[in-house]
Amino acid sequence: MVDLSKNNFSGDIFVMQGWGDIVEVINLSSNALSGSFPNLTNQFQRLISIMISNNSIS
């Protein structure tokens, strides 16, 4: 699990690209992330859950 919640991260959500295929759970909730949500199906083949609430993602 990668828990990056409540860190006041800002900017484009595309920073997630390149994290590899070993991550199963990502928590990015309660930051200031923005932009459109990228297609992660090719990069995160083991991804089970991603939490992105309380951001400005479209």
Per-residue pLDDT of the chain (58 residues; tens, 9 = 90+): 889 899 998 887 766 666 667 888 989 999 998 888 777 767 778 889 989 999 988 7
8 A C-beta contact, residue 9 and residue 26 = no
Domain parsing of the chain, residue ranges: 2-57
Q: Cβ of 33: how many Cβ atoms within 10 Å?
A: 22
pTM of the model: 0.76
